[in-house]
Amino acid sequence: MKCLGCSLANKMAPVNVVYENDFVCCILDHDPFNEGHVMILPKEHFEDVDELDAHTANAVIQASRLLSKAIKVLYKPDGITICQNGGMFSELSHFHMHVVPRYKHQSFANFYLEAPLNNESIKHILLDTRDKLEEVIKSIL
């Protein structure tokens, strides 16, 4: 597949899947803002939110609800930011939505900066994070 997002969503590239159904694949972000940062990707190729069919759009929102519940249980964040960047602001040229646990006194501006995040310790525990999130999600379903 030429589209990186399609490759990720269909597990043709290495990913840490925490949840999936017929329409979406939810994976840990490889460059997480915080532990538990997940991306929701449709399995079918769409570039922007206005292109999503009704079933896929519903699956994206339902996945964001499920992931938010699991993140709240596991990480007890002060809040959750759900965001989507389209057009020239999408690094994948494939629709994806971020679900990011957030904490008080933490600037989210760093999420949009080109500078690397200070997240090496989180990157080293991605497999553990995946296993924990997967377990909590299964208990919610």
Instruction: Decide if 111 contacts 37 (C-beta within 8 A).
Output: no
Res 29: pLDDT: 95
User: pLDDT at position 48, please?
Assistant: 94
Domain count, the chain: 1
Q: What pLDDT does residue 87 have?
A: 77
Q: Are 45 and 34 in contact (CB under 8 A)?
A: no
CB 27 within 8 A of CB 39: yes
Residue 103 sits in which domain range?
4-140
Nearest of 82, 77, 69, 51 to residue 133 by alpha carbon: 69
pLDDT at 1: 59
Question: What averages of pLDDT result for each successive group of 10 residues across the chain (141 residues)?
Answer: 90 96 97 96 96 98 98 97 86 92 86 79 93 97 91
pTM of the model: 0.93
- The domain that contains 128 carries what CATH number? 3.30.428.10
